[in-house]
């Protein structure tokens, strides 16, 4: 086979290859007017296939504009780092933060040494005086003035109340409080004094009545050491009496020191 024949064979093969790949029409005749004008077309090809040149250009160019990435030079920062600068001035203090939660209780510490004794206290001594006595025997006044004596002791600190005379004797200068309670007798008058030394301080009085009742009287008196406070009945036109019995105590006389004063 000659050189011209080989060249024609290679040209035919190239055209067939192009027609298979790009849909390029060959030189073979086709039947039909539309098919002859458009050339060979496969069923999967679009209606208007691109020309081989357009196909080559389309395959050579990307479907969208391609932007080349910017290439930045690499700089080694460690080579350009300078010396550490001086410390700047302190800024304004910020707002205080919220209080934190309370922490757990710590362990108990070691017991400390015993402290030294304190200085002596004031030499002043607390002063007191009090009494409370009662009577279980009824009494009728037969004299102008009849002292009321008592037969039962409830309280008598340091013996300041004299049971024999029925008198309280003040041990200190100060202010004292006294209280007297008696029971009246039916249809009889009750007339009793609380006496300071020889002067009547207050009176307890009950009119005659068909019913007996409890009566009370109280008073505060300033006393000096040696003053006497006691109770007396005194006789008037009517019979004067106070009631009591051997079972219950209906008559009581009490007193105590409220405040002592310097002599």
Q: What is the pLDDT of residues 82-111, one digit of tens each?
A: 778 888 888 888 888 888 888 888 888 888
Give the model's pLDDT for residue 200. Answer: 92
Overall average pLDDT of the 151-172 stretch: 94
Give the model's pLDDT for residue 187. Answer: 82
Checking if the pLDDT of 19 tops 80, the result is: no
Residue 178: band (very low, low, confident or very high) from pLDDT cuts 50, 70, 90: very high
Give the torsion through C-alpha atoms of 53, 58, 59, 65, to 10 deg: 150
Checking if the pLDDT of 78 tops 50, the result is: yes
Radius of gyration of the chain (CA): 68
Three-class SS of residue 201? strand
Overall average pLDDT of the 208-234 stretch: 90
Instruction: Determine which of 23-27, 71-75, 176-180, 228-232 has the lowest per-residue pLDDT on average.
Output: 23-27
Checking if the pLDDT of 5 tops 60, the result is: yes
Work out the percent of the chain whose per-residue pLDDT is above 90. 29
Give the model's pLDDT for residue 7. Answer: 66
Give the model's pLDDT for residue 28. Answer: 47
Give the model's pLDDT for residue 90. Answer: 83
Three-class SS of residue 104? coil
Per-range mean pLDDT, top range of 67-76, 117-126, 150-159, 235-244 = 150-159
What CA–CA distance (Å, rounded) separates 153 from 156? Answer: 7
What CA–CA distance (Å, rounded) separates 186 from 174? Answer: 39
Instruction: Determine which of 62-76, 112-126, 160-174, 211-225 has the lowest per-residue pLDDT on average.
Output: 62-76
Per-range mean pLDDT, top range of 44-53, 64-73, 82-91 = 82-91
CA 55 to chain centre: 89
Identify which has the larger pLDDT, 133 or 242.
Answer: 133
Chain region(s) in the chain for CATH 2.60.120.40? 130-260
Identify which has the larger pLDDT, 14 or 129.
Answer: 129
Residue 130 and residue 178 in contact, taking contact as beta carbons nearer than 8 Å: no
The CATH number of the structural domain formed by 130-260 is: 2.60.120.40
Work out the percent of the chain whose per-residue pLDDT is above 70. 68
């Amino acid at each position: 086979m000659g050189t011209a024949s080989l060249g024609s064979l290679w040209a035919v093969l190239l055209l067939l290859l192009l027609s298979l790949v790009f849909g390029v029409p060959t030189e073979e005749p086709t039947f039909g007017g539309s098919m002859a004008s458009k050339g060979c077309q496969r069923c999967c090809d679009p209606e208007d296939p691109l020309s081989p040149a357009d196909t080559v250009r389309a395959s050579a160019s990307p479907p969208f504009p391609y932007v080349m990435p910017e290439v930045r030079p690499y700089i080694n920062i460690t080579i350009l780092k300078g010396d550490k600068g001086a410390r700047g001035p302190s800024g304004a203090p910020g707002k205080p933060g919220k209080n934190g939660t309370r922490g757990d209780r710590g362990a108990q510490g070691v017991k400390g040494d015993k402290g030294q004794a304190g200085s002596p206290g004031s030499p002043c001594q607390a002063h007191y005086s009090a009494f409370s006595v009662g009577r279980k025997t009824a009494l009728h006044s037969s004299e102008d003035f009849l002292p009321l004596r008592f037969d039962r002791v409830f309280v008598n600190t340091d013996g300041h109340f004299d049971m024999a005379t029925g008198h309280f004797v003040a041990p200190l200068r100060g202010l004292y409080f006294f209280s007297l309670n008696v029971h009246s007798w039916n249809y009889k008058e009750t007339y009793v004094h609380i006496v300071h030394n020889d002067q009547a301080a207050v009176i307890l009085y009950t009119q005659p009545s068909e019913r007996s009742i409890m009566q009370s009287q109280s008073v505060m008196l300033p006393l000096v050491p040696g003053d006497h406070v006691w109770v007396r009945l005194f006789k008037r036109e009517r019979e004067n009496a106070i009631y009591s019995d051997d079972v219950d105590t209906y008559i009581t006389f009490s007193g105590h020191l409220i405040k002592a004063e310097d002599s």
